[in-house]
């Protein structure tokens, strides 16, 4: 086990079903090697990897908590520009993976991702053609091949195709040159309303958690203003020990959770060391109490799901 990957709980991980590097069985094998005893899977906008991960975790003797991560946004007046929206990622844990409304909604998001990807490929090929005279350097088919048969297509897959085509030196370089917000190749995704998604997760019997709220602090948003609004919509917790956050940020987040009566969870946001080498499994010091609190929140969410219909 590496020096960093020593904590036995990790509730925020990804597989190749979205933008991670590992197949579900590889995630579990790597988790077992890192000493993980409680594992949460939170792929972006998909539940495709949950069943395989659950089976592999059972064989490995690892407690598994199914989840999903969904990108949302909400209007927020205090961002220094008219009509600004605050981007927020939500984690949903313990929901019914067969819930029809949730599955239909995720299918809509997946189709939107494919459309958006086509727009980004077209834009990047046009830019690259202007610069080099090489047209159609990237094809949608190749990006889909990189994503794989179970993958929800995303910018990391496009970035890998760009590296193959000689447009960038690395995935990070592709994002920095073309794919980050505000860069030439970026296409904004259609907004998903935070309130609607919190309520959808609750209707599906899941516990909605605000992911990496340290990013909210970095935007200058006051958590004591934001969290009461999210809690009124059904939010049950926030990640208080996330990835590479420093101790000061973790202390602020833990206090914010206590102040608002929300549970604290956390995880590494592991995508595979070949994708994000600074986020090994077990990086964030998530406590056993956090696991107990999350399981209790899931039980409450399941018992109260009809109140959100």
Instruction: Kindly tell me the burial class for residue 268, based on how many C-beta atoms sit within 10 Å of its own C-beta (0-12, 13-18, 19 or more).
Output: buried
Cβ partners under 8 Å of residue 264, min gap 6: 237, 238, 239, 240, 241, 253, 254, 257, 290, 293
The rounded distance, in Å, linking the Cα atoms of 54 and 43 is: 13
Tell whether the model's pLDDT for residue 2 goes beyond 60: no
In 3D space, the residue among 227, 245, 226 whose CA is nearest the CA of residue 236 turns out to be: 227
What is the structure's pLDDT at 80?
63
Of 149 and 273, the one with more pLDDT:
273
The fraction of the chain above a pLDDT of 70, given in percent, is 95
pLDDT over threshold 90, residue 81: no
pLDDT digits (tens, 9 = 90+) for 201-226: 999 999 999 999 999 999 999 999 99
% of the chain at pLDDT higher than 90: 71
Question: What is the average per-residue pLDDT within 23-28?
Answer: 96
Does the structure show a pLDDT above 50 at 29?
yes
State phi, psi for 188 to the nearest 5 degrees. -65, 135
Judge whether residue 32 has pLDDT over 60: yes
What is the distance between the alpha carbons of residues 138 and 48, in angstroms, rounded to a whole number?
26
Look at the pTM and tell me if it is higher than 0.75. yes
Is the pLDDT score of 5 beyond 60?
A: no
For position 299, what pLDDT does the model report? 98
Kindly report, residue by residue over 99-146, the tens digit of the pLDDT. Answer: 999 999 998 988 888 899 999 999 999 999 888 888 788 999 999 888
Taking only the tens place, the pLDDT of each residue in 232-277 is: 999 999 999 999 899 999 999 999 999 999 999 999 999 988 778 8
Nearest to 28 by CA among 13, 47, 18: 13
- Structural domains of the chain ordered from first start: 9-98+191-308 (3.20.20.140), 107-179 (1.10.150)
Who's near 131: CB < 8 A, 6+ residues apart?
Answer: none
- In the structure encoding, which two tokens stand for residue 187, read together? 């296409």
């Amino acid at each position: 086990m590496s020096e960093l990957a020593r904590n036995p709980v990790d509730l925020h991980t990804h597989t190749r079903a979205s933008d991670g590097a590992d197949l579900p069985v590889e995630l579990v094998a790597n988790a077992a090697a890192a000493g993980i005893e409680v594992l949460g899977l939170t792929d972006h906008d998909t539940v495709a990897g949950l069943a395989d991960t659950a089976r592999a975790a059972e064989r490995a003797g690892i407690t598994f908590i199914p989840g999903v991560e969904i990108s949302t946004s909400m209007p927020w007046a205090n961002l220094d520009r008219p009509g600004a929206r605050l981007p927020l990622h939500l984690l949903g844990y313990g929901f019914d993976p067969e819930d029809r409304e949730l599955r239909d909604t995720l299918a809509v998001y997946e189709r939107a991702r494919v459309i958006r990807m086509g727009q980004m490929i077209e834009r990047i090929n046009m830019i690259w053609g202007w610069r080099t005279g090489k047209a159609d350097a990237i094809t949608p088919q190749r990006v889909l091949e990189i994503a794989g048969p179970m993958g929800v297509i995303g910018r990391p897959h496009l970035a890998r195709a760009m590296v193959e085509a000689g447009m960038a030196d690395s995935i990070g370089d592709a994002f920095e040159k073309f794919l980050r917000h505000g860069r030439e190749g970026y296409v904004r995704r259609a907004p998903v309303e935070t309130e609607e998604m919190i309520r959808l997760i609750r209707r599906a019997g899941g516990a909605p958690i605000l992911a990496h709220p340290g990013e909210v602090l970095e935007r200058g948003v006051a958590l004591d203003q934001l969290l009461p609004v999210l809690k009124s919509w059904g939010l049950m917790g926030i990640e208080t020990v996330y990835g590479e956050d420093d101790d000061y940020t973790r202390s602020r987040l833990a206090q914010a959770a206590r102040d608002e009566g929300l549970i604290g969870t956390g995880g590494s946001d592991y995508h595979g060391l070949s994708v994000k080498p600074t986020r090994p499994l077990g990086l964030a010091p998530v406590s056993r109490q956090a696991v107990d609190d999350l399981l209790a929140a899931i039980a409450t969410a399941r018992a109260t799901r009809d109140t959100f219909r």
